[in-house]
């Protein structure tokens, strides 16, 4: 009985790999993603661990990774994986999901062209505050830090011991 057909070396040779050569990872690892996020443009006036701008200038929220909304993003290979690009932090950028889908496997796309495929919705600071409150339970901005009120606070059953003030959201109580 021959064991050569099931050996790892034989399987790698069938796939065209030498036994010394390793397969290229297709996806970015956690360290590459963290460095990629850190290298993205900081959103002025916003917490840098929560908000960034992608390479086309779109606002993205860190919690909205791998979804399809206007604040959602994906980690993109600058040089596409299909064209030999590596899954490293140096070859990584964040892109709004719909922009990344447009870029696809193109090696070079002008920033203006990317902007043309961006979500048309532009959020005000107040709208981003509301989104941040809904997603994180608080808002952290220079000079404007606040938190969600608890249900007990809203019902008047307790006062918060938190030093952060409750956020004032833009709604009319009478409507």
The secondary structure of 1-68, three-state, reads CCCHHHCHHHHHHHCCCCCCCCCCCCCCCHHHHHHHHHHCEECCCCCCCCEEECCCCCEEECCCECCC
Query: What is the number of structural domains in the chain?
Result: 2
For residues 41 and 101, state if they share a domain.
yes
> What is the span of the domain harbouring residue 48?
22-116
Identify the pLDDT of residue 3: 45
For residues 26 and 111, state if they share a domain.
yes
For residues 65 and 98, state if they share a domain.
yes
For residues 135 and 154, state if they share a domain.
yes
pLDDT bucket at 166, cuts 50 / 70 / 90: confident
For residues 51 and 68, state if they share a domain.
yes
For residues 98 and 145, state if they share a domain.
no
For residues 44 and 61, state if they share a domain.
yes
For residues 96 and 26, state if they share a domain.
yes
For residues 34 and 110, state if they share a domain.
yes
**pTM, rounded to two decimals:** 0.73
More confident of the two residues 112 and 164: 112
CA distance 161 to 55: 41
Structural domain includes residue 81 = yes
| Average pLDDT over the chain, rounded to an integer | 82
| Element holding 111 (H helix, E strand) | helix 111-116
For residues 96 and 145, state if they share a domain.
no
Least confident of 22-26, 141-145, 167-171: 167-171
For residues 40 and 95, state if they share a domain.
yes
Structural domain includes residue 44 = yes
Three-class DSSP category at 171: coil
For residues 41 and 105, state if they share a domain.
yes
Structural domain includes residue 103 = yes
Structural domain includes residue 172 = no
Least confident of 84-93, 115-124, 155-164: 155-164
């Amino acid at each position: 009985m021959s064991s050569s057909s099931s050996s790892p070396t034989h399987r790698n040779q069938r796939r065209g790999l030498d036994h010394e050569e390793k397969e290229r990872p297709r996806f970015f690892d956690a360290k590459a993603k963290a460095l990629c996020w850190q290298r993205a443009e900081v959103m002025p006036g916003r917490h840098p661990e929560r908000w960034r701008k992608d390479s086309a200038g779109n606002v993205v929220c860190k919690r909205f990774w791998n979804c399809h909304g206007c604040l959602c993003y994906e980690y993109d290979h600058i040089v596409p994986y299909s064209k030999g690009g590596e899954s490293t932090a140096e070859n990584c950028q964040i892109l709004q999901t719909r922009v990344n889908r447009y870029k696809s496997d193109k090696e070079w796309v002008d920033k203006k062209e990317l902007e043309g495929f961006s979500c048309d919705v532009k959020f005000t600071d107040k709208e981003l505050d509301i989104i941040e409150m809904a997603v994180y339970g608080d808002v952290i901005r220079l000079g404007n830090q606040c938190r969600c009120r608890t249900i007990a606070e809203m019902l008047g059953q307790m006062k918060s011991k938190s030093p952060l003030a409750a956020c004032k959201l833009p709604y009319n109580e009478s409507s």
